[in-house]
């Protein structure tokens, strides 16, 4: 084999490797985009195509980054977590009030973080940038909260779980593990030194009253 042929083969192999690396990077980037934006990105990509969807989310991110969002202090996280624990325990005796309290907490936390809460549709668009994977559940929860008089206890339980997922994502609570609606709550690795997000799966209603629980970590309402 001549030296010229070897050089050509090497060049071809290098080009193939470069193309493969570029494709792999693009796939990872798209996977990261889907992981961050969830169904929000998939829905838009189906409507306008992946390239335009990425451009739209880039525009949304530019707007959101211009809002001057701030992380909450540990004290504020702890305060909201305490409010959440009260609202969640209230589900046993008054599911509707528990769901309404959870909805109010979402409104309070988004405002506290610096989101513009004066226009709800714009707020949903802004939340899609960093919390998009929870928006489908949040939309459903809002519908349930608007009709608590007609909603079943199971509907309200799922709404509370959806509110919880978005709430602790907004709080950026270290150590919080989101629970799927039909899975039991995870047990924290450490029994002491719990961080605010971990406390949501603790307490007497998750330990001494498991017979009163529904699936998924929210106590079942009393009949």
pLDDT single digits (tens) 54-85: 898 899 999 999 999 999 999 999 999 999 99
166, 134 Cβ separation under 8 angstroms? yes
- Comparing CA positions, the residue from 170, 29, 55, 160 lying closest to residue 98 is 160
96 lies in some domain: yes
- Comparing CA positions, the residue from 209, 44, 61 lying closest to residue 131 is 61
Low-confidence winner among 19-23, 38-42, 78-82 (lowest mean pLDDT): 19-23
30 lies in some domain: no
Q: How open is the CA angle 36-46-155, to the nearest 5 degrees?
A: 65
Q: Residue 181 — pLDDT band, cuts 50, 70, 90?
A: very low
Q: How open is the CA angle 133-60-160, to the nearest 5 degrees?
A: 30
Range of the domain at 120: 74-212
Q: How many domains does the chain have?
A: 1
192 lies in some domain: yes
H helical segments located in the chain? 3-37, 39-48, 50-65, 74-89, 95-113, 120-131, 135-146, 153-171, 204-207
Alpha-carbon gap, residue 6 to 3, rounded angstroms: 5
9 lies in some domain: no
26 lies in some domain: no
Which range, 21-35, 144-158, 180-194, has the best average confidence (pLDDT)?
144-158
């Amino acid at each position: 084999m001549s030296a010229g042929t070897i050089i050509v083969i090497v060049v071809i192999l290098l080009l193939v490797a470069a193309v493969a690396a570029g494709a792999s990077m693009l796939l990872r980037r798209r996977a990261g985009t889907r992981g961050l934006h969830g169904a929000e990105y998939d829905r838009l990509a189906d409507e306008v195509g992946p390239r335009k969807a990425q451009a739209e989310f880039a525009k949304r991110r530019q707007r959101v980054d211009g809002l001057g969002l701030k992380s909450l202090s540990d004290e504020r996280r702890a305060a909201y977590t305490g409010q959440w624990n009260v609202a969640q325990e209230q589900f046993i005796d008054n599911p509707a009030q528990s769901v309404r309290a959870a909805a109010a907490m979402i409104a309070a936390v988004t405002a506290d973080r610096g989101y513009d809460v004066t226009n709800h549709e714009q707020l949903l668009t802004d939340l899609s940038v960093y919390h998009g994977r929870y928006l489908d559940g949040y939309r459903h929860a809002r519908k349930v909260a608007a009709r608590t008089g007609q909603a079943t206890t199971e509907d309200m339980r799922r709404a509370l779980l959806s509110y919880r997922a978005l709430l602790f994502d907004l709080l950026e609570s270290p150590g919080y593990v989101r629970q799927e609606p039909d899975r039991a709550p995870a047990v924290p690795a450490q029994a002491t030194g719990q961080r605010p997000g971990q406390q949501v799966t603790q307490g007497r209603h998750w330990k001494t009253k498991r017979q009163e629980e529904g699936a998924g970590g929210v106590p079942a309402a009393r009949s």
